[in-house]
Amino acid sequence: MPNSHRLNPDQSINLIEIPTRADQYHKDRDSAEDEFRSLRDDLIEYQRRFYADGKRKLLIVLQAMDAGGKDGTIRSVFKGVNPQGVQVTSFKVPTRHELARDFLWRVHMSVPPKGMIGVFNRSHYEDVLVVRVHDIVPEEVWRPRYAHINAFEKLLVESGTSVLKFYLHISSEEQKQRFQARLDEPEKNWKFSLEDLEKRKLWDHYSDAYEEMLEKTTTNWAPWYVIPSDQKWYRNLAIAHVLVATLKNLDPQYPKPEGDYRGVVIE
The β-bridge relationship of strands 224-228 and 117-121 is unpaired
> Which structural domain, as residue segments, surrounds residue 103?
15-250
237/232 Cα distance (integer angstroms) = 9
The answer to whether the CB of 79 falls within 8 A of the CB of 236 is no
**Spans in the chain with pLDDT lower than 70:** 1-2
Q: Is position 265 within any domain?
A: no
CA distance 14 to 165: 18
Measured CA to CA, the distance from residue 225 to residue 242 in angstroms comes to 9
Is 7 a domain residue? no
CB atoms within 10 A of CB 136: 13
Domain assignment of residue 264, yes or no? no
Q: How far apart are CA 196 and CA 191, in angstroms?
A: 10
pLDDT given at position 195 = 86
Residue 53 lies in a domain: yes
What digits encode the pLDDT tens for the residues 195-246? 888 899 999 999 999 999 999 999 999 999 999 999 999 999 999 999 999 9
Contact indicator for 192, 209 with CB cutoff of 8 Å? no
Residues 6 or more apart whose Cβ sits within 8 Å of residue 72: 232
| pLDDT of res. 142 | 98
Residue 5 domain flag: no
Strands 117-121 and 161-169: unpaired
Report the domain count for the chain. 1
pLDDT number for residue 170? 98
- In angstroms, what CA-CA distances link 199 with 13, 14, 174? 22, 20, 15
Would you say residue 262 lies in a domain? no
Residue 42 φ/ψ, nearest 5 degrees: -65, -40
Decide if 9 is inside a domain: no
The CATH number given to whatever domain includes residue 142 is 3.40.50.300
pLDDT confidence of residue 264:
86
In a domain, 6, yes or no: no
